[in-house]
Structure 1
């Protein structure tokens, strides 16, 4: 059976919810194609599926549930670090399609990565009056798309309340969007604690320089459902 894990990245303060990613450790010599990986990711419907093609080199491919590969994504990369750490293969660098990403896992369980914010999708940012206004949303304000809405919850402490939707690519609400939070960090020029999504996923950010941001959060690992494990096993049995 091909090893795989369901990882919730950016869990909230209670260790609950977060943004799920399926992490698949491909067998040595696997001959599956990018199209086959994408078909599986689309069929399973998990927000991101990460295929670890070479754990020693950190080489991965990321595919979304909405029919597109992902060059760089905060929550799938953090999920991969957590999954590999659990089997004693903690990487210092991952290699998604965008390029090398230094990463680490601190003793308190927080996973960190450092990357250029420009690798993120071109998320828009829309500031709202206060956190309560964001809590009440059921979708984006009129005229917005591909947008992270945000407001200060405690400006002095750097605490932000945020939510995000991207209807034009068929993406509903993103419980925890690390890449948009990286862009917001550069925009505001300071370290942030972003409380994201309906369940207040905790996303931590720190600007490194004028282009790179350190992105962090805690993760929880779960055993995937039987139908997910069976679908992964079938792909590599055929491949």
Structure 2
């Protein structure tokens, strides 16, 4: 079996929650796209990262849905692991900074896979949303405050203010038929929500993951979180 690290990304303050990802530090050991797809499926993580150049931070990320141009968990986790100033992904060059217990990436909203953003009335409404059955489209028809992604909806990002003046948000994500029933932490959706609202956010997603965001000059957005090495 190819050596790989397991990281938990967007953890709560106690180190729990977040998403597990796999990182193959020496991507040359799995050189082909089909071999990488097979290994990613075997490992079973939401995102499996193959590092093709650790000094430049060149990444190839595989998810159950394919190879995204930008993957939030993968970028935040691998940036922490490699300790590099930037990452190179299919969408472009992602800025990186480490700030105490948080690792931050800076990317453009248009690089993120599309999500449908649904503004719910309150956190209780977010919590009450049912998890879609396998193969079922999440969320149904657009509701008030819902921003439709272009083309076929790959999933739903439902959110509500917990404390609007403080920028505190409650959110849940449902990737839909192409992915799992519910995603515990979704960095790219947080990036899109931040761009839509135009303000810094402190997001609690899923059962307890924490994602921090902040808009930056020139249309860029930062997304940050805690990373923990599982093994």
Above 0.5 in TM-score? yes
Cα distance change, pair 30–159 in 1 and its aligned pair in 2 (3 A): same
User: Structure 1 CA distance, aligned partners of 2:30 and 2:40?
Assistant: 17
* Runs of 4+ displaced beyond 6 Å: none
**Which residue of the partner structure matches residue 205 of structure 1?**
213
Structure 2: unaligned runs, 5 residues or longer: 132-137, 143-152
**Which residue of the partner structure matches residue 235 of structure 1?**
none
Query: For 1:77-116, what aligned pairs fall within 5 Å after superposition?
Result: 77-84=75-82, 90-106=83-99, 108-116=100-108
SS across alignment from 1:70: coil
Cα distance change, pair 123–165 in 1 and its aligned pair in 2 (3 A): same
Cα-Cα RMSD: 1.7
**Which residue of the partner structure matches residue 11 of structure 1?**
11
Q: Structure 2 residue aligned with 1:175, among 184, 200, 207?
A: 184
Shift of 1:3: 4.2
Structure 1: unaligned runs, 5 residues or longer: 85-89, 224-239
**Which residue of the partner structure matches residue 234 of structure 1?**
none
Q: TM-score, normalised by structure 1?
A: 0.84
Q: TM-score, normalised by structure 2?
A: 0.87
The count of aligned residue pairs is 214
**Which residue of the partner structure matches residue 21 of structure 2?**
21
User: Structure 1 CA distance, aligned partners of 2:40 and 2:69?
Assistant: 15
User: Structure 2 CA distance, aligned partners of 1:126 and 1:210?
Assistant: 25
Contact 2:4 2:24 in 1 (8 A): yes
